[in-house]
Structure 1
Amino acid sequence: MRVVAAMSGGVDSAVAAARMLDAGHEVVGVHLALSRSAATLRESARGCCTIEDAGDARRVADRLGIPFYVWDMAERFQRDVMEDFVAEYQAGRTPNPCLRCNESIKFAALLDRALALGFDAVATGHYAQIVERDGADGEVVRELHRAVDAAKDQSYVLGVLDDEQLARAFFPLGDTTKPRIREEAAARGFSVAKKPDSYDICFIADGDTRGWLTSRLGEQPGEMVDAVSGEVVGEHRGSYGFTVGQRRGLGLDRSSLDAEPRYVVGVEASTNRVLIGTQDLLGVDVIEADHARWCGAAPVGEVRVGAQVRAHGEEYPAKAWVDEHDPEVVHVRLDSRIRGVAPGQSVVLYDGTRVVGSATIASTDRASVTSPR
């Protein structure tokens, strides 16, 4: 196969490209330029896609003896990921930009361009596995599964991929742990073998999400209100800077409250109010989610699943079903209440290690009398 290897400049994508070459594929390395003003040098382990990263990717490609190109996708990334991120927070939701990037950039824009240029597939350094099995009609079915390394598993952020995208995707690292990947990189002589992982939001290199949003939306003073009594308990500079489940950075006058900790239990974008309450108000066991994406056929009827609402969070037993009136809406009923589930987050559904699909959380509620976890 002719394969585009997405090379971020890190150790994972370097080994992924090498493994695709070892498997006999014709490999071309591609680095995605996602910012028109990328920093010259990485200042920490945060962020990615710097000029330094592009140089690291090129050096790996040269060592492998494969062609290497930089594809400019800054405009698409700005529109589909960064502007979406701002709009979601402004609407009182908590988005996951990594899912949006995988959906819109790496497995839409990148894959589409690769196919248009005559390539057969895209390979990335994500930690996940594609398992092939025989389908009922005799055709090979490709399923997305969790990685062997549970600590590095990235199947959650790949839950937006559909059948056609999975058919054109390779994840060569899914059967290996991160320490072994670093050992392999060192053995291959890659200079990135000890390079620190990037983490958090790549376009907010200092990790100050609230500050980054404020620089784009400006200060929007409003009230912090007790969710039960309706009493004003504080002020804020923008409801977009808060998310459900948040405890730190509330700026409340503790002397006017009892000793019990307070959390954000809701964000009302229409009134610019942040609702504050005790942790017992955070527990939910009902999720309604939209923008459903299925890694295979959509489930029929009510099915037992594992539900995960954070990239490296716990998986919770639940049942799920597609709305009978809208196939893009999914209902999830958790076996027990969980805390800190915010609209805008993604819920990814699993059947064992297999990813069933994902959807964006639109609302949450309580339906049972079980204790919160």
Structure 2
Amino acid sequence: MDEDQLRRLIPQVIGVLVRRGADFAAAEDAVQDALVEALRVWAQDPPRDPAGWLITAAWRRFVDAVRSEEARRRREGRAGEEQAVDGAGAGDDTLQLYFLCAHPALSPASAVALTLRAVGGLTTRQIAAAYLVPEATMAQRISRAKRTLAGVRFDQPGDVTHVLRVLYLVFNEGYSGDVDLAAEAIRLARQLAAVVESEEADGLLALMLLHHARRPARTTADGALVPLRDQDRSLWDTEMIAHGVAILQAALAADRLGEFQAQAAIAALHADAQSVEETDWVQIVEWYDELVRLTDSPIARLNRAVALGEAADPWAGLEALGELDAALPRHAAAAAHLHERAGDRVSAARLYAEAAERAASLPERNHLMRQAARLNTALGRAPGSGGDVTGPH
């Protein structure tokens, strides 16, 4: 059994310990200890019943952590009574863990960390490495999250929407450390879709697959960003795209549209086009209209403005962009792109330079600086002078 298969058992094992009488925090700690032990010994001595081995090992660790001999006997007696139903409710346990780890009382960062540990089965070290923070910092974050949930019942109803947003946060982190968080988010989204009836869960899974299919073309060998219009589409994973589209079509057929289905529909239209010129921008604008109606998101409005600039003309896109707060993330980059499309390279160079100063990551900053330098070179000016240029907006 490989590590991914092992981690798929974690929600079931935590659920068994909670039904035996352990509280969530203690159960999660015990299962993590058992997971570490499994990774150490199974390579040489794999068990015939992996789930049973983990349940036994985790329960022993929980019992060992209970100081009172009387409390130990009481819990062990309860465990004996419930032994017959240990395997029941595994799907429900998984769903309840998703709900618990994405509880509204938690901050997004805490919900992400707890989901990766309790549902994903990652170690604190792996999560810390993925988010580029010290292991002690991540351990404190997870401990605080578990303290926040101390009074929440394991079987309390939850909100799938919160879970989906947490998984999307994980997905958007991409790859860092020794854990591929995008792939992990897809695995967790598949697991969630299997235990909950939700078109939006299917929509999120479709969206992740459609985005992930383009991953090989998103960066160069040296890590530089490649924008969608410049990507080598032969590198896209067509099988993954087809899978994502099939999941999306099934979800849309239920006629209960949600934001993740709308985003997936936009991604599917991009994935379906053989080139930027063949992209159905008119339909993309229509899907952005639906997304704005569902969410009223300023970012959705910004992306709609860019799509409108492609579907109609760049000035229409700029007019729509002008209605939005210029402090929005990537507002300057969107304006630069539309100005360049309109032939206003002077304003575009200046805006690319402004956007580079506000970039959220080094690869994005470098990409925007290259765009500014490219236009400045074409205009016959020294690289880096774009920030000093004035021109029409």
- Normalization by structure 2: what TM-score? 0.26
Larger Rg: 2
Bigger proportion of residues as helix: 2
- Normalization by structure 1: what TM-score? 0.26
Bigger proportion of residues as strand: 1
Q: Which has the higher contact order (CA 8 A, sep 6+)?
A: 1
